[in-house]
Structure 1
């Protein structure tokens, strides 16, 4: 809940990050929040438009906002939580575990609290974090190809039903990765409280009903791993032990000749 997020942000080791675009931040941000725009940790590498930056880039970007691996990272965006979720997945890929996002983003917080925003910049002492990739968080294209017939792996396509079926085409080819099941990421939102998510047990029941088995290794993807990053956070919050994100997603798969697809 927003109130709990605010309380956590006051912890001595909390690192509060505003991942909105600069023009939105210019109108005001939460006191103490440092700017880390979405574009700084998502790198378009055509055909993959939601690529993961390399370690040198992440060291520079995260060091500039004073990141240290042991701190409690709290991230928020304007509302849909996809940008904040993508940051949490990126940090998880670096082995970070102490982190959370603001469910519903700044819009939910402003609807439910009287928190005042500020335009004052937070002073930052830059760091030079020692970063390395963790195992089991990232699914590269070749890894996905190698596990297409693996009964232990479940591909979860979080795009719309139209994208999944190939009617809504956003790449050279439409359709989905063979064997993937479809659960639109937006089904996680509570219709009466959007952009807040549904209660945790509702989410659990919904995922199980869709066939998302916690005993299997789950690989989530969408078009650029923005929507599916939110699903990744939901799955981890529910205790799913093995969840990867495919950052190349459909922008890479659908634009790469020779890769198999299903309509």
Structure 2
């Protein structure tokens, strides 16, 4: 069995503030230790059920260089650094049998939700076939495009609800209850890890793998609301991307969801370019 564990930081127990998620910020070093520990809990859970499983862990936050390699469970392999194919899901392919999303957060514009955003501050919303998707939905749909189920998510209660709405019956672990963008009632990190390990073990059982897959058959109509008008200008230089109504919205039609996913990743990167 091959399993991919994609690990973000905003949804980790105890993490509530942007300074904890920024490498230059106060308490970032502690936050990345908590992130690594939750990754280890998920790895341990998968291997409790499937001792011979191949486990890849994709560092999926910011620079993709947050997890501490020397502290990660040595039985797993770490996917680290950027840019890379499939971004937060690097390592995913048709041979993968399950995806686990650890430390995830709600999409931009949802609330109360801890540190809610979609990919970056450059993106206000992504709509696929008219449906608003954040990182949770985009990644679940990318996995579903390859026929791979997302079998578990951990994060705050709003993140858990977001995936449950998209994939009914999926296993979730709420490690904190959101109060607002930078506030939550959190479990003790050790309690969160125990729950995550247990849920991960159950998620990769035969019953867990029978879960639904989120899929959008092609062609796929996509609209992206961008925060900066300069990013809109840059986006329209990409073949097939056009301005839509509203001034901050671009639209395109992708042949399939994999193409749509890659184009969204490109738009996120364009959002990092400042006016000359």
TM over 0.5: no
Interval of TM-score (by shorter of Structure 1 and Structure 2): 0.3 to 0.5
TM score, norm. by length of structure 2: 0.34
Instruction: Say which structure is richer in strand.
Output: 2
